[in-house]
Chain A
Amino acid sequence: MRLVLELILPILLIVCALAVTFSKRLLVSVVIYTSFSLIMSVIWVLLESPDLAITEAAVGAGVSGLLLIYTLKKIHALKGTSDE
């Protein structure tokens, strides 16, 4: 189980990192970036550093994604909303 996770999660990480750069929409990039952070926090748990895992999940997947989305809203770059 652990071995499978250790194999799958880095691959998912690379897929996420590529998808962030190749997605055309900024909002989609932000969402993929938060999922990148979530995968990263699971990897931190597997590497036996739960402190980093908690911080990564709270900062990377939570607050920074929120701040990025609000920045996009502020500069009117959210596609599909009335702000664009």
Chain B
Amino acid sequence: MSKMARIRKEKKTPWQKFCAWVNGDAAEQMLLPAQPPKESKKKAAKAKREKTTSNHRKDMGLGQFDHIYRICAVLIGIAIVSVLMAVVLKLPLFGSPDNPSVNEVVERYVEKGLEETGAVNMVAGMILDYRAFDTFGESSVLFLAVTCVTMLLMRDRNNTDKKEDMLTAQEHVIEGYEEDIILTKISRLIIPCALVYGIYVVLNGHLSPGGGFSGGTIMGSALILFAVSYGMIRMSRFFTYATFRKVTSSALMVYAASKAYSFFTGANHLESHIPLGTPGAILSSGLILVLDICVGIVVACTMYGFYALFTKGEL
């Protein structure tokens, strides 16, 4: 007896009904009632495959190991879960003052952070001043990731043939006149708000929660929404591969140069000529604002680049 039929029969318990609802089977049965021939074919193919695999296993003498595999899997799962639970039980309480993470580093950050970095938002002061090198590494990792995706998915003359080119040309033609009216009207309202909010989060990163990564992602999703609703052709009027390359690499260079300056002066005990300003003002906290803008640009371009390469294979 095949597995599918057994599941159909036992579908009456509430748990299985819930499972079916989660998997969308109920909705599909209402929407697509008539698909019996295809399914039976599939079932037959599945049964055949199962038969062949089981025969193959018997030939290899692996049939008796099936139970052992299952028992081992369950045992290993239980062992890992119990080890993790034991570790969680040994963890110190959340926020208790005796935690090993509460040491002189945290004291220094909390007591002298505002004075040394000029950032009201302590997190921004930490990740973009004390540990700016880590953030530089993270931005570089994003840049490397999008470079690798470009290498794998970018469509050019070497990895396409005539048939694929024709298909893309057809898609472009369809995209040209088929605009979803609901999507375009709604996105006309949403995109400006999302872009302005993203810019606000980036520029206000040293004063309020947020910063380069989150603001950049919000801007990137606004760009993606624009590309989805208005098509790649309109997108390419202001954002092409050349813009992507120039903007991203120059943002990374500015980050590296400005941080190199502060590292140089800090390591040689020279006086930094960048004023920290009054804490709380928009133009304050030295380099943090510049670094936030750089990270925001890199992240926004990377997010949009991922989307464009995944869908069309071109920027």
Contacts and interface: CB of A to CB of B under 8 A. Distances in A.
Nearest to B153: A74
A77 B214 CA distance: 30
Nearest to B23: A24
A62 B22 contact: no
Contact of B23 (A28, A59, A73): A28
B23 A62 contact: no
For chain A, give the interface size range: 20 to 34
B214 A51 contact: yes
For chain B, give the interface size range: 20 to 34
A70 B310 contact: yes
Contacts of A22: 19, 22
A80 B201 CA distance: 38
A28 to B, nearest CB: 6
Interface in A24-69: 24-25, 28, 47, 49-51, 53-55, 58-59, 62-63, 66-67
B195 interface: no
A39 to B, nearest CB: 16
Contact of A51 (B19, B23, B210, B224): B210
A53 B224 CA distance: 21
Contacts of B310: 67, 70-71, 74
B199 to A, nearest CB: 14
5 A-B pairs with the lowest CB-CB distances in the bound complex, closest first:
A50-B209, A58-B217, A54-B214, A70-B310, A55-B214
13 contacts: A50-B209, A51-B209, A53-B209, A54-B201, A54-B209, A55-B213, A55-B214, A58-B217, A63-B220, A70-B307, A70-B310, A73-B311, A74-B311
